Chain A
């Protein structure tokens, strides 16, 4: 079946460091891919998305590219801030699935000043 695998956390970085959070997926057909962010005590917010191969989603300095050849959707940011500390979830959905999302297990990011 379809699934999403994220790198295990926690990831601890210093402010202004480069961030990569790996996400790979298993899916038939052409899923849509998403990154969500969850700040402490809050619900999930959609961070970015991509709907077809080679699409690049971007938002708030974060970006991820839909790589069908490697079935990956890695999240990157060039310079993280303390305020980026949160849990990041990779997810996928596909047509005819009543909109259900398949989530990865989440990766906790902690940015230290």
Chain B
């Protein structure tokens, strides 16, 4: 069966510091991968998606970047965090065929202070 991992689970970082969040998927190959952000009390905002290694599409221009160095690894980064980067970050995968249903990881709670 497939599983998706995210770490860290929680993170408190000062403004201006760098960020690296990691997401890995097990039990499938060549998945589509997605990063979402959920601000407190709000819906989900798609940040990036990837259909293959090294292929990244950005949905919203901002302070963040994403990379996919391996087939089942997706990394969200920032060089300098802003207060507005605080939120709940969710990684998801889909098999890119059929119904396009996505499966979500447990999330990372980021607080920028």
- Once the chains bind, are B100 and A101 in contact (CB under 8 Å)? yes
Q: Which of B96, B101, B103 has the most CB of A within 10 A?
A: B101
Partner of A97, one of B34, B90, B100, B106: B100
**Residues 34-68 of A at the B interface (beta carbon under 8 Å):** 34, 36, 41-46, 49, 51
What's the interface size class on B, roughly? 20 to 34
Smallest CB–CB gap between B56 and chain A, Å?
12
- Once the chains bind, are A100 and B99 in contact (CB under 8 Å)? no
Smallest CB–CB gap between A61 and chain B, Å?
20
Count how many pairs of residues, one from A and one from B, have CB atoms less than 8 Å apart in the complex: 60
**Residues 41-95 of B at the A interface (beta carbon under 8 Å):** 42-44, 46, 49, 51, 57, 90, 92, 94
- Once the chains bind, are B103 and A103 in contact (CB under 8 Å)? no
Smallest CB–CB gap between A66 and chain B, Å?
12
- Once the chains bind, are B43 and A42 in contact (CB under 8 Å)? no
- Once the chains bind, are B104 and A51 in contact (CB under 8 Å)? no
Give Cα A44–Cα B100 distance, bound, in whole angstroms: 15
A98-B90 contact in complex given A93-B100, A103-B44, C-beta closer than 8 Å: no
Q: Quick one: CB contact mask for A95-113 with B, threshold 8 Å, 1 for yes?
A: 1011111011110000000
B94 nearest in chain A by CB position? A99
Give Cα A36–Cα B42 distance, bound, in whole angstroms: 15
- Using a CB–CB cutoff of 8 Å, the interface residues on chain A facing chain B are 32, 34, 36, 41-46, 49, 51, 89, 93-95, 97-101, 103-106
List the 7 closest pairs (A to B, CB-CB), nearest first. A43-B104, A93-B100, A99-B100, A105-B43, A99-B94, A44-B104, A99-B32
